[in-house]
Amino acid sequence: MLKEFKEFALKGNLVDMAVGFVMGGAFATVVTAFIQGVFLPLLAPIMGGLDLASWSYTISPAVLNEAGEVVKEAAVIELGNFISAVISFTIVAFVMFMIIKAMNSLKKKEEAAPPPAPPRQEVLLEEIRNLLAKQSQ
């Protein structure tokens, strides 16, 4: 069983997939940082100074006791975070689409390549066969 697991774990496809997950996670982190740190701040002046990250809707306010301590947290829908996550997802999905499209076009080019020429020995044998067939007719 250990041998089978080792063969499974070390197959090329599984290792490639693991590397792909790690690279995808790192890429998603970079995109999220770009959206939060560059894109949204550049978008704010266009939107009249609104900070998209601060967009939220409070369903129920926080409940405080007499000492001013929070007894019950506020129920808040953070629309800005959701919108920035949607933008990040769209960018990551588009880049992954472009990568897969490029990979598929490379595979098609490999498949479309003409088959290699048969070995010289086979060509000569075919010629001999054809000559013998002509002579026997």
pLDDT given for residue 49 in this prediction: 78
d(CA 85, CA 25): 14
Q: What is the pLDDT of residues 47-79, one digit of tens each?
A: 787 777 778 888 888 888 888 888 888 888 888
Percent of the chain with pLDDT over 70: 93
pLDDT given for residue 35 in this prediction: 84
- The mean pLDDT of the chain is 83
Percent of the chain with pLDDT over 90: 0
CATH number of the domain enclosing 54: 1.10.1200.120
How many domains does the chain contain in total? 1
Kindly state the average pLDDT of the residues 95-101: 86
- SS3 per residue for 4-53: HHHHHHCCHHHHHHHHHHHHHHHHHHHHHHHHHHHHHHHHHHHCCCCCHH
Q: Strands 63-64 and 70-72: what pairing?
A: antiparallel
d(CA 42, CA 51): 10
Q: What is the pLDDT of residues 7-37, one digit of tens each?
A: 776 666 777 777 788 888 888 888 888 888 8
d(CA 68, CA 23): 47
d(CA 104, CA 129): 41
- Full domain range(s) for residue 125: 2-136
pLDDT given for residue 12 in this prediction: 63
